[in-house]
Amino acid sequence: MGDACGTIRTAPRRIRDVERDEILAKLRERIVAFAASHMTGDAAEDLAQEVLILLHEKYSHVEQLEDLVPLSLQIVRFKIISLRRKAQRRGEYNQVSLADIQVPDLEPGPGVMLERKAMLERLERAVAQLGERCRELIRLKLEGASFSEIQKRMGAASINTIYTWDHRCRKHLLELMGGDWEPEK
């Protein structure tokens, strides 16, 4: 109950509980040291906690430090082996960090962009010099129309006529571009 100062008195802890706490503290230090020698620090702490819980739940009848140390170290060994098997199954050992991977820049460089711009300008000038029928045919092809659709839209009698027009337009476009799609260097 309470005394005159209003503090609550608790029953003194049994000597057996104090001894057990000291044993568990020493045991925890040894488990962490052993686990840390085989894995990283945080994982060693987690592993020590798991082992202590297992000792409390399944091996509460073992109370002597001489018996607890070899038992706990054997449990730690089994858990480390289990963690390594799991990591191997998941392929965690041969994973490469994203920071270590060099990802290529898929964007074109300034030189490529300049070449594309020059090619586009040449192409625009050449298309502007084509006749109306060729410009319409190229426009329809760029829109994704098939040759039969182009035949209907342009009112051609035969699809072979469209093939012929297409061949002649591309040939004329190539001539207007200087005989080569690539610019002269």
Q: Which two tokens stand for residue 98?
A: 């994203």
> Is 173 a residue whose pLDDT tops 50?
yes
pLDDT tens track for 124-163: 999 999 999 999 999 999 999 999 999 999 999 999 999 9
**Domains of the chain by residue range:** 15-90, 110-176
Which has more confidence, 94 or 184?
94
Distance (Å, whole) CA 56 – CA 33: 20
pLDDT tens track for 53-107: 888 888 888 877 788 888 888 998 998 888 888 888 887 777 777 777 887 888 8
Query: pTM of the predicted model, to two decimals?
Result: 0.42
Task: Find the DSSP H helices in the chain.
Answer: 15-36, 41-58, 65-90, 110-129, 132-142, 147-154, 159-176
User: Under DSSP, is residue 8 helix (H, G, I), strand (E, B) or coil?
Assistant: strand
pLDDT for the residue numbered 1 = 45
pLDDT tens track for 13-41: 455 667 777 878 888 888 888 888 888 76
Are the C-beta atoms of residues 2 and 9 closer than 8 Å to each other? Answer: yes
pLDDT for the residue numbered 11 = 46
Fold of 110-176: Arc Repressor Mutant, subunit A (1.10.10)
> Is 185 a residue whose pLDDT tops 70?
no
